[in-house]
Amino acid sequence: MSDRSTIFALSSGRPPAAIAVVRMSGRQAGAALKALIGRVPQPRQAALARVREPVGGEVIDEALALWFPAPHSETGEDVAELQLHGGQAVIAGVLDALGKIEGCRLAEPGEFTRRAFENGKLDLTKVEGLGDLIAAETQAQRRLAFRQLKGLIGDRAEDWRRRLIEALALIEARIDFSDEADVPEDLVAPALDTVRQLRDEIAACLADSGRGERLREGLVVAIAGPPNAGKSTLLNRLARREVAIVSPYPGTTRDVIEVHLDLGGYPVTLLDTAGIRMSDDPVEQEGVRRARERADMADLVLWVIDGSVSDLSSAGRDPYSNGRQPSHAELWLVKNKNDLVSSQSLGSHESSPKEWINRSFTMSARTGSGLDTLISALAAHAQAYFAATESAIVTRARHRRAFEETRAALDRALEQRCTGREELIAEELRAASTTLGRLTGRIDVEDILDAIFRDFCIGK
């Protein structure tokens, strides 16, 4: 647990800016306000005030001051907020003045939120939702994060835990009073009914094929294909900037290059990979190995070929031609360099559709022709992929693990029903409830706290 000094930080973005927000939280927050503006305003009412350097009395700025006395504040402690002019020197002056006040110190990353957690204002899943909301780059990510911040998963897990504990109480009553005549014979059956229901609800949440996690990270689209086909040119086109080096020499791209895009409100991670071919160069070989690995793990592969070369087999070998198992990813063929194809020969290589191609596009990454069609198809694909995700509640591996462990414990409890060994059932239910408690942070979580709060910025 953190020490109880009063913390302060710049909570708004990098100066210079129109407005800067400096927040304080802790027992000295009121005293700090008094030292800077001479008074403590009415709770939750904005007050205009001169901010002065406490020792010399020089005016630093004029600001709006807000006061949120404990416990009705974000952190659950006394919180004060100053909305200053967002200049570098103003902020430095105010932070400097605060640092000189006894018992006040600069906050560490995520420390405001950590105090909110420690004071029971947020459970761990809500903390994660808050972190995701700040990091959200697309509207779909924002919606998912906001739902989590508002307790979509945390409240559900708490509700499951509560029902689990009720079922456990019934079974324990049965164990404790098994000799006494006035204990109803069948306490176990209704308890196990509850357990079965819970197991089904948890299983339903897990059956979302990991799309909630994907929405946090983005749909992964790998651009792969033979060397010199124009993969990097396509990546630059889609990213609308020069991310990858393009050159007329085959084997230009060696490492995997990653770009994050917002396609129609959905996050897409685009990967440019090394052209796939046999090579004696160990560096290129490693690039090809990585290219294959990433393409294998992608949700969609854009297999780019030089469409000006007469047919598919000479333009690029079958991506899975060397005896490897086809990956589960969908594969779209992109026939590039359409600008080099004379109009008479257009369409001449539609002849041999391969079964591994889900869709086919003809375009020119150089002139941009056909690019809009590809972008629309990608956006539609992302939308269809994520459509089911709007209801997903599992957004992290940590949640998935907790739910899987819970489900496994419930399964084991249900298996014990025939044996009639109630102590074993009780033990599994206890294990399940502990796992759920860890998810929301109600139970021994010190070890995961640091990992979660580390990703926050200072002032949050």
Ligand X SMILES: Nc1nc2c(ncn2[C@@H]2O[C@H](COP(=O)(O)OP(=O)(O)OP(=O)(O)O)[C@@H](O)[C@H]2O)c(=O)[nH]1
User: Footprint of Mg ion on residues 205-234 (CB under 5 A)?
Assistant: 231-232
Minimal distance in Å, beta carbon 278 to Mg ion?
17
User: Alpha-carbon distance 213 to 395, whole Å?
Assistant: 4
Query: At 160, is the secondary structure helix, strand, or coil?
Result: helix
Is the CB of residue 6 less than 8 Å from the CB of residue 104? yes
Minimal distance in Å, beta carbon 53 to ligand X?
58
Q: Site for Mg ion (CB under 5 A): how many residues?
A: 4
Q: Pattern of binders to ligand X over 352-391, x per CB under 6 A?
A: ------------xxx-------------------------
Is the CB of residue 439 less than 8 Å from the CB of residue 396? no
Place of tokens 């020197």: 89
User: Alpha-carbon distance 455 to 220, whole Å?
Assistant: 23
The interface region with ligand X, picked from 1-9, 72-80, 103-111, 231-239 by CB under 6 A, is: 231-239
141 binds ligand X (CB under 6 A): no
The interface region with Mg ion, picked from 105-113, 251-259, 288-296, 388-396 by CB under 5 A, is: 251-259
User: Alpha-carbon distance 388 to 367, whole Å?
Assistant: 36
Angle at which helix 139-149 crosses helix 124-135, to 10 degrees, equals 160
Write out the two tokens for 21: 């927000």
The interface region with ligand X, picked from 2-10, 39-47, 222-230, 295-303 by CB under 6 A, is: 222-230
338 binds Mg ion (CB under 5 A): no
340 interacts with, out of ligand X, Mg ion, none, CB within 5 to 8 A per kind = ligand X
Place of tokens 């294959």: 292
Sole binder of Mg ion in the list 28, 253, 338, 364 (CB under 5 A): 253
Task: Report cis status (omega within 30 of 0) of the bond before 190.
Answer: no
Task: Report cis status (omega within 30 of 0) of the bond before 54.
Answer: no
Angle at which helix 152-176 crosses helix 422-440, to 10 degrees, equals 160
Sole binder of ligand X in the list 6, 25, 73, 232 (CB under 6 A): 232
User: Alpha-carbon distance 282 to 292, whole Å?
Assistant: 15
The interface region with ligand X, picked from 25-33, 229-237, 393-401, 410-418 by CB under 6 A, is: 229-237
Beta carbon nearer to ligand X, 286 or 339: 339
Minimal distance in Å, beta carbon 1 to Mg ion?
51
User: Footprint of Mg ion on residues 43-62 (CB under 5 A)?
Assistant: none
User: Footprint of ligand X on residues 235-254 (CB under 6 A)?
Assistant: 246-248, 250-253
Sole binder of ligand X in the list 336, 362, 435, 440 (CB under 6 A): 336
Place of tokens 């930080």: 9
194 binds Mg ion (CB under 5 A): no
Write out the two tokens for 338: 């359409």
* 359 DSSP β-pair partners: 332
Beta carbon nearer to ligand X, 343 or 419: 343
Beta carbon nearer to ligand X, 172 or 296: 296
User: Footprint of Mg ion on residues 230-249 (CB under 5 A)?
Assistant: 231-232
Q: Which of 25, 85, 125, 4 is nearest to 393 (CA)?
A: 125
* 24 DSSP β-pair partners: 8, 80
For 309, phi then psi, to 5°, come to -80, 145
Beta carbon nearer to Mg ion, 249 or 420: 249
How many residues are there in the chain? 460
Residue 447 makes CB contacts below 8 A (sequence gap 6+) with: none
Cα 370 from chain centre: 33
Beta carbon nearer to Mg ion, 202 or 257: 257
228 interacts with, out of ligand X, Mg ion, none, CB within 5 to 8 A per kind = ligand X
Sole binder of ligand X in the list 110, 275, 370, 437 (CB under 6 A): 275
Residue type, 90: V
Beta carbon nearer to ligand X, 364 or 389: 364
212 interacts with, out of Mg ion, ligand X, none, CB within 5 to 8 A per kind = none
Minimal distance in Å, beta carbon 150 to Mg ion?
43
247 interacts with, out of ligand X, Mg ion, none, CB within 5 to 8 A per kind = ligand X
Interacting residue ranges for ligand X, rule: CB under 6 A: 227-233, 246-248, 250-253, 274-275, 336-337, 339-340, 364-366
